[in-house]
A and B are shown apart, each in its own frame.
Chain A
Amino acid sequence: MNYAALIRSAVLALLRNKLRSLLTVLGITIGIAAVICVVAIGKAGQARVEQAMNKLGDNFVWIEAGGRSINGVRTGTHDTKTLVVADAIAIKNQISLIKSVSPNVDDPVQVIYGNQNWHTSYHGDSPEYFDIKRWYVDQGAIFSEDDVDRSADVCVIGRTVREQLFGVEPPVGKVIRVNNLPCKVVATLQPKGLSLSGQDQDDTVILPYTTAQKKIKGITWLDDILCSAVSQDVVKMAGQEATALLRDRHHLRADEENDFNIRNPEDIIQAQLDASKTLTILLIAIASVSLIVGGIGIMNVMLVSVTERTREIGVRVAVGATELAIQLQFLGESIVLSLVGGAVGVLAGIFGSYLVGQTLQWPIEMSVEAVFVAALFSVAVGVFFGYYPARRASRLDPIEAVRYE
């Protein structure tokens, strides 16, 4: 079988009805482009959620002061005084599933530098906080354990605070006022951008928790204890162990509710990721329907073509063409249609994905697998939907066929 001749003959046959062929190709093009776009956009959405999860923290376990509800009354988180630094130390020392711990106190605050001021929030933490929350230093060096012990008046500022207070001026070494407490800026942080809930994560000032407790908030307790589990798999278990330890330390009876709560922001993001994946699969399924419709278009056109060319089929059989040769002739035409549609669809899909990516400001990443699978799928559509008309052509009665008007 001369495949080059087969393809040439298929192309020539299709060119005899240019508009019809073009419209048929369009059906496949739309299907393939839709699948590629959906996969690319879906992947971008997932990448965005994964990025957010990554920025959230390193196997993050978040213990917040205050029960969700005590005796049916929500207490809020900032009025509970039972979570203390000793709890954080106990968690660090006694729970092997937890590798890093940072006490945390936070509140909104006004920060001032020169004649600039900015309303932000501060976080009083230990140096481990930067690892737990995956903060990376841009300039300078973060405060030390020694600074924590001394309740030093030092702070690290996020990109937004830096821009609002300093503009283009280098901030490291400068003194800002955090709620009237003069604090030396020892480092600036690399930007994280917005969280999935739309909060500006760079709008923050971080200082030693002892400084925040004693000199800004005037409290002895903590708002939160932030921890890192040793791995993603044990985040839940680490939370359960921390719960047991804290209940014991806080002398809570079996019938008493927790005076703290373990929050699982990763669970929420994971749920978003799962939802995003499900949505992507759903959209691929919908896009695939358009591909099937395109395939049905091919079948329709090929059936019309077989009817139109009945006499030609009869003549070819009469001069000795085999059933297989006739089948391949028509199958070749349907495969050429779907391949051309697939190729144009891949290009349109790539272009469309980038267009959507540009519009939504999402990091579109083309999936080579998706392009490959789409191309393969277009051939499969050609074979699948071209087979029946081709078989029908090969099964025509040549005697009737040569007489067909």
Chain B
Amino acid sequence: MTGHAFVEVNSLSKAYRRGQRIVPALSNVSLQVEAGEFVILTGSSGAGKTTLLNLLAALDWPDQGEIIVDRKNIAHLSLRSAASYRRHQVGIIFQAYNLLPQLTAVQNVALPMIAAGRLDLGRAKELLGSVGLGDRSLHRATELSGGEQQRVAIARALANDPRLVLADEPTGNLDEENAKAIMRLLVDSCKLRSATLILATHDVEHLQRADRVFELRSGILREQYNRSTA
């Protein structure tokens, strides 16, 4: 434990109960991520990538270990504190976009602002412009293509200027061309804001842009690539 990393995960374990069986998802995982770094988590389906991202988002609680984000242990936050942490520190991007279909693009972007009690539609429109959808702000989510929906989801994740962006297979539902564009947009947007990006994917195409790459295999984390030592 260095005490300087923006995200520190120490000896983290998590298991799920499946009927009578206990299925380990993460076993003694440790990880340090510096502020502004872009880290990719790879691994096959069921390796524990999503579990780790959920724990980093304080959507779930670990069985053991600690998760320190910006010098604060978020491993066992109360529901209220976890919500506050997500509002102010974290932006989440899902594989399935998860936009609210009844809302327009700009309203979807504004959702985290509403949760934080500081709605600013002007800024929401600005964010949409920054992901290339300035002219689609009043379109409902259902009227947008998959690539466009994921762009809206990126804008939504950045709405409250989070210092940590967690993306779970953000290009998993997109074709190759769209996937590349989305990836470029996501990484550039995070770099521009000095936000730390932790991205789970099993698509090797994106690895070369990452600062570091970790592989999760059967719940165990191993560093595979480090730009600074490559």
Segment among A120-128, A318-326, A354-362 that sits at the interface with chain B: A318-326
Are A320 and B54 also in contact (CB < 8 A) when A314-B98, A315-B100, A399-B60 are? no
Cα A311 to Cα B59 in complex, Å, equals: 14
Interface size class of B (residues with CB under 8 A): 20 to 34
Please, could you name 27 A-B residue pairs with CB atoms under 8 Å apart, sorted by A? A2-B117, A5-B119, A16-B102, A311-B98, A315-B99, A315-B100, A317-B83, A317-B86, A318-B57, A318-B86, A318-B92, A319-B86, A319-B111, A320-B83, A320-B87, A320-B88, A320-B90, A320-B112, A320-B116, A321-B115, A322-B79, A322-B83, A323-B79, A323-B80, A398-B59, A399-B60, A402-B98
Instruction: Enumerate chain A interface residues (CB-CB to B < 8 A).
Output: 2, 5, 12-13, 16, 311-312, 314-323, 325, 398-399, 402-403
Considering the chains assembled together, what is the distance between the CA atoms of A2 and B98 in angstroms? 25
Which residues of A lie under 8 Å from residue B159 when comparing CB positions? 319
B156 contacts chain A at the CB level, 8 A cutoff:
yes
Q: Complex: how many Å from CA A325 to CA B119?
A: 15
Residues of A within 8 A of B86 (CB): 317-320
- What is the CB-to-nearest-CB distance from B103 to chain A, in angstroms, rounded to a whole number? 9
CB within 8 Å of A: which of B105-120? Answer: 111-112, 114-117, 119
* Across-interface contacts of B98 in A (CB, < 8 A): 311, 314-315, 318, 402
Asked if B224 is at the interface of the complex by the 8 Å CB criterion, the answer is: no
Shortest distance between the CB of A338 and any CB in chain B (Å): 22
What chain A residues lie within 8 Å of B119 (beta carbons)? 5
Residues of B close to A321: CB separation below 8 A: 83, 115
Question: Which residues on A sit within 8 Å (CB–CB) of B112?
Answer: 319-320
B102 touches A316 (CB 8 A): no
Contact check: which of A2, A312, A319, A403 meets B92 at CB < 8 Å?
A: A319
Is B94 positioned at the interface, with any CB of A under 8 Å from its CB? yes
Residues of B with C-beta under 8 A to A322: 79-80, 83-84, 115
Give CA–CA (A323, B79) in the complex, Å: 7
Roughly how many angstroms separate A198 CA and B90 CA in the complex, as a whole number? 81
Output the least CB separation between B18 and chain A (Å). Answer: 14
A16 partner residues in chain B, CB cutoff 8 A = 102
Q: A315-B98, A399-B59 are in contact. Are A320 and B80 (CB under 8 A)?
A: no
User: Quick one: closest A residue to B99, CB to CB?
Assistant: A315
Main SS at interface, chain A: helix
Which A residues are CB-close (under 8 A) to B94?
318, 402
The interface residues of chain B lying within 8 Å CB-to-CB of A316 are: 111, 115
Chain A's nearest CB lies how many Å from the CB of B184? Answer: 24
Query: With A and B bound together, what is the CA distance between A318 and B92 in angstroms?
Result: 7
Chain B hits for A319, CB < 8 A: 86-87, 92, 111-112, 115, 156, 159
A323 adjacent to B83 (CB under 8 Å)? yes
Q: B114 contacts which chain A residues (CB < 8 A)?
A: 5
Apart from A311-B98, A319-B159, what 8 extra A-B contacts exist at CB < 8 Å?
A13-B102, A315-B98, A319-B156, A322-B83, A323-B79, A402-B96, A402-B98, A403-B96
Instruction: Give the chain B neighbours of A2 by CB distance below 8 A.
Output: 117
Q: How far is the CA of A44 from the CA of B100 in the complex (A)?
A: 53
- Sorted nearest first, the 6 A-B pairs with minimum C-beta distance are A320-B87, A319-B112, A320-B86, A320-B115, A322-B83, A321-B115
Chain B residues, CB < 8 A from A325? 115
Let me know if B83 and A315 touch, CB within 8 A.
no
Task: Give the residues in chain A near B111, CB-CB below 8 Å.
Answer: 315-316, 319
Q: Which residues of chain B are within 8 angstroms of A312 by Cβ–Cβ distance?
A: 100
| Whole-angstrom CA separation of A340 from B203 in the bound complex | 52
Q: Which residue of B lies closest to A326 (CB)?
A: B83
Q: How far in angstroms is the closest Cβ of chain B from A304?
A: 16
Instruction: Name the residue on B nearest A394 (C-beta).
Output: B79
A387 to B133, CA, bound (A): 39
Query: In whole angstroms, how far apart are the Cα atoms of A212 and B50 in the complex?
Result: 107
Give chain B nearest CB distance to A386 CB in angstroms: 20
In the bound assembly, the distance between CA atoms of A312 and B94 in angstroms comes to 13
In the complex, A311→B97 CA distance in Å? Answer: 11
CA distance A312 to B96 in the complex (A): 13
Docked-complex contact B83 and A399, CB < 8 angstroms: no
Docked Cα-Cα span, A13 to B102, in Å, equals 9
Q: Which residue of B lies closest to A13 (CB)?
A: B102
Bound-state CA distance A398–B116 (Å) is 18
A96–B60 alpha-carbon span in the complex (Å): 86
**Residues in B whose Cβ lies below 8 Å from that of A320:** 83-84, 86-88, 90, 112, 115-116, 160
Question: Which residues on A sit within 8 Å (CB–CB) of B92?
Answer: 318-319
Contacts of A317 in B (CB 8 A): 59, 83, 86
Smallest Cβ-Cβ distance to B160: which chain A residue: A320
Are A318 and B87 closer than 8 Å at their CB atoms? Answer: no
* One of B59, B79, B84 near A318 (C-beta < 8 A): B59
* Smallest beta-carbon distance B65→chain A, Å: 18
B11 to A: closest C-beta gap in Å: 22
In the bound complex, how far is the Cα of B82 from the Cα of A319, in angstroms?
Answer: 11
Annotate B175-201 by CB proximity to A: 1 below 8 A, 0 otherwise. Answer: 000000000000000000000000000
Q: How far is the CA of A13 from the CA of B94 in the complex (A)?
A: 24
Q: Tell me the complex Cα distance, A403–B168, Å.
A: 12
Q: Which chain B residues numbered 62 to 96 have a C-beta less than 8 Å away from chain A?
A: 79-80, 83-84, 86-88, 90, 92, 94, 96
